[in-house]
Each structure stands twice: as structure tokens, then as C-alpha cells.
Structure 1
Amino acid sequence: MNFTEIIYNCINEVVTITLNRPESLNALSITMAKEIIRAIEQARSDDNCKVVVITGSGRAFCAGGDIKAMKIGMSVAKARNYVLEIGRLILAMQDLEKPIIAAVNGYAMGAGFNVVLAADLIIAAKEAKFGQAFLQVGLAIDAGGSYFLPRTVGLVRAKELAFTGRIIDAEEALNMGLINKVVERERLEQEVYSLAAKLAQDPSQALGLTKMLINRGLSADLETALAYEALAQSVCMQTEDHKEGLAAFLEKRAPKFKGK
């Protein structure tokens, strides 16, 4: 599959999607959004892909929306389609029943910040910066920020970040619970792929269903969440990985899962 604004690689069961518009700090164009969606769909259908890593080329993860395209001007219809396409990207990330790790190598601003929040696990370089930079250009929050931000840091802190557009560094993001880990920039790749390799060894169907259950649990009542759990668990109990896990437990050895 050919891409022009991202790079797609699959090595050792880990797909890496690299946002590749470094001259614009990987600003999220409609083309890039569509290509990321296509890449996620490719990863979904590839049985050799167990984990997805999303990162950026150059000194940014993603600087947010495509300011140059906005400056040219968009009709109401075109603007709505652009934001909906970014929304489809966020939904694709959430719906993928494989873990997504965001490797935040630099600036993650506006929509770029919220793409990070749509990932399942987030590791940031010490130099990374985060900001809800929408109001500063006369825009409201998008890319799922209105959903993820208050659920992650609470209503009051979410409003502070959105209203002020204050830029925070990786350590503050970690302390707020926005990301999982901060590492030195030269160790970012090692840390991310070490985690990816570990996840790739997990029982992939159970892992994917766990992601689905947690995501759906955010908006489900308890009765619905319990029903989803029962359905997912009944599927897991039919898998070879479940049988292998039981055997390994009884034999007091490490399990060797095959994703089946």
C-alpha cells in the first residue's frame, strides 16, 4: 500500500506508523488522516501485526491541524468533512483490537495532543511538549479532546488546559496522568519497542478484547459492562492461547502464546 504523508513498516510483529511531514511539524492534513486510517485497517487485517506504534518524523509528533490549509480557507462543508475525517481516525484507533503505543518524540499540539490521548499507552521523550492549542487560533477543541481530556485529568483540569492552551512538558503530563512514561530522547525507541515486544507476546485475542472492554466501559453502565465481559470471556475460553495459559500455569512454566 502506497503512502505519501506517513511511513508504514512491520517488523517483528510490530507495525510502526510514522507521521512524515517534518517540514510542517507533521501537521495533520486530511490526506494524512486518511492514510493513517488506511494504515490502521492494514494493521487490523495483518495477522503478523500484534502491536501498533505511532510516532512522528523530525522534531515533532504532530503540531496539530493543517494551518496552511486553514489559511487558504475552507467552506463549512469542507471544514466539517476535514474534522470528521480526523474523528474517523480517532475512532479507527479506538476500534482497533490491537494495542497502540504513542511514541511522542516532540511537540504534540492541538489535534496532535488528542491523537496521543487516543492511543492505549503513551511514552514520551523528555523534550516532548503538549498543548490544547485551539482557542489561540479561534477554534474549539476537536479530535476527541472533549471526550478524552476530562476522562483523563478531570473536568476542572481539562477546562484549564483547553481554555488557556498552556503548553506543558512531559514531566507535568506524566504527573497529570496524561502519559505513562518519560524517557531520555535517545532511549525513546528502545523503551517503546521493548514494551511493544512484550505486548506482542501476550495472547492477542484476549488483549484486543481487553482493550475493547475498557474502552466501552467508559460509557457503559455496570450491567452493560458485565454483559460485554461475559461475551468476551466466552470467546477467550475457546482459544488455543487460553488452553496454553492453563497448561503453563499448572506446569509452572512461562506460557507460549500463538495468537490463536
Structure 2
Amino acid sequence: MNDHRPVTTLTDDAAILMDVAEGIATITLNRPHVRNAIDDEMRADFVKALDQVAKDDAIRALVVTGAGKGFCSGGDVKNMKARLSAPAGQIAGNGWRRQQRTHHAMAALHTLPKPTIAAVNGAAMGLGCDLALCCDFIIAADAAIFAMTYVLRGLIPDGGGLYFLPRRVGLSMAKQLIFSGRRLAPAEALEIGMIDRVTSSDRLLDDARTWAAEIGAGAPTALALSKSILDQSMELTMDQVFAMGSQAQAICYTSSEHLTSVSEFLARSSGEAAR
């Protein structure tokens, strides 16, 4: 799984890199000099890369990781300083527009119609922690660190953590982590259900890509529809889930994956009966 084919037109010094091998896309946050802190350019390029992944039928799953020693240190503090230096009457409006762009990026990751895995290679702080939580699954290197550091900057989690963290660890534990902003090593994060797997740093990307290949091997239409319903299921009643499932299954009935699978199964059964 080491022979990767670049598929973006971005240069090697771009804020976001993406390559694809054997149906698995890898998006790399590429600002290692600031531990991959997210600025406006990175956020915009990230959304473009996600759009490429969503549109490419040859891509079955996505891995998100960071260049260098960090996964993502959160929002770029330089941007925060510039935001606060704006005229008082513009700070709120500018902040609202920035929030809209951030939420668009995180929603694009969360609702991607393909399985997603965060391969956390180092510190995942604040918005970086939120970004990992937006993925379907999280695998961490043993050198990784997780922290919801927003409160230490006088802020609340604005990248999805208020929604995703309690769904992973429960409300009480989510409050403890968000209120304190304390750091978690991978072992504790795994124990409380914040992440799913831990591996060594030298195995992280290989293990993440192997896992992505496993969970992305199913019928793409069925995977996308299942993910869409599961991501809403905690806010829905049983009857609503059944209704959405009925509609999704009707789509699956007409999919080429289902028709091919049934035809192949019947052909095998017919062949075995003839023997």
C-alpha cells in the first residue's frame, strides 16, 4: 500500500496534499512548520480535496493525516490576532462568516459518502481534535495527543466537538474534557471510546490504509446510504429510521452492485447444484 499516485494539481508545498492508491485516498494537512494549524487557504483547499474524493468513483475510502510531527494544532493563532484587530463593528460579522466556512468544511468531511479515517500522527488540539472526531473512525499513533483546548483560549468548540464528542464518550465525559481542556494520551482516549485504535507511529498510515480498504470494500451505494442514515439515527425515532431505511433499500434494489451480486450468487448456486 506504499505506491501512491498524486491526483491533485497542488504543488508539494501546498497546504493540502492528496494521493490515491488502490482505491484509498489520503489527504495530508501540510503546514508542518505550525503543526498543521488551519488557516483560510488550508480550509479552502481541504474542501476542494474532499469534493474530489466524493466525485471520484474509483475512491472507496479516505484517510486524513498530518505532515510532520503534528496532526493538527487547531486554528491558526495568527488568524485569531488579525480577527481581533478588525474594527469593533466588524468582528462579529467577520466571525460569523468564518464560522460558516469552518462548518462547511467539517460538514463536507462528516457527510462524505464514503468511509473516513483520521490517522492521528501527533497532537490533535482544538479544531484539530474536532477534525478527527468528524471522521467515521480514528486511529492514533502511540505518540499522539488529544485535547479540546478551546476553553484555554476563551472559546467554545466550534468545529463539531460539541456534537461529536458526547456521542463518542457520553455527555459527562465530554463536559469534563471540554471544560478542562486537558490532554489525553492515546491509551486513555481509547479506553473512554474517543478513538478506535492505537498503533505505532511507523505503522500508522499502513494500518489506516489497510483498515480503510477493509471498510470501503462493500457496495458503494449501500455504504453511502447506510452512513447517511446512521449519522442521523441518534436524533430520529425508530419509525423514522425504518422509513429512511425503506427508501434507501429501494435505491439499493436498483443499484448495479446489488444486481451484479445477486446474479453472481445465483450463477454460483446454479453451478453447485449442477455438480
Comparing 184-193 with 67-76, greater Cα deviation is found at: 67-76
Is 1:12 matched up with 2:19? no
- Structure 2 counterpart of 1:59: 69
Q: Percent identity?
A: 35
* 1:1-260 alignment, distance < 5 Å: 1-3=8-10, 4-74=14-84, 75-247=91-263, 251=268
* Distance in structure 2 (CA, Å) of the matches to 1:96 and 1:196: 14
SS at the partner of 1:218?
helix
User: 2:17 corresponds to which letter in structure 1?
Assistant: I
8 Å CA contact 1:30, 1:86 repeated in 2: no
Size of the aligned set, in residue pairs, is 252
Take 2:238 and 2:61, find their aligned partners in 1: how far apart are those partners? Answer: 29
- Over the aligned positions, Cα root-mean-square deviation in angstroms equals 1.6
Q: 2:115, 2:216 within 8 Å by CA — same for their partners in 1?
A: no
Distance 1:249 1:125 in 2: 40
Distance 1:140 1:194 in 2: 35
Q: Deviations over 1:153-186 (max 9, x none)?
A: 1111111000000100111111111111000111
Larger radius of gyration: 2
The residue number in structure 2 matching 1:255 is: none
How far off is 1:219 after superposition?
1.9
| Distance (whole Å) between structure 1 residues aligned to residue 56 and residue 260 of structure 2 | 23
User: SS at the partner of 2:20?
Assistant: strand
Unaligned runs of 5+ in 2: 1-7, 85-90, 270-275
Equivalent residue for 2:88?
A: none
The amino acid across from 2:184 in the alignment is I
Query: Structure 1 regions of 5+ residues with no counterpart?
Result: 253-260
Task: Answer whether contact 2:60 2:213 (CA < 8 A) is retained.
Answer: no
Q: Distance in 1 between matches of 2:111 and 2:104?
A: 10
Q: Is the 8 A contact 2:24 2:212 kept in 1?
A: yes
2: distance between equivalents of 1:229 and 1:18?
Answer: 34
TM-score scaled by structure 2?
A: 0.87
AA matched with 1:77: G
- SS of residue matched to 2:215: helix
Task: Map Cα deviations across residues 31-66 of structure 1 (whole Å, 9 max, x no partner).
Answer: 211111111111111111111111000011101111
CA distance in 2, matches of 1:245, 1:166: 49
What is the distance in 1 between the residues matched to 2:98 and 2:32?
21
Match of 1:176, as an amino acid? I
Amino acid at match of 1:149: L
Q: Which amino acid aligns with 2:248?
A: A
8 Å CA contact 2:17, 2:28 repeated in 1:
yes
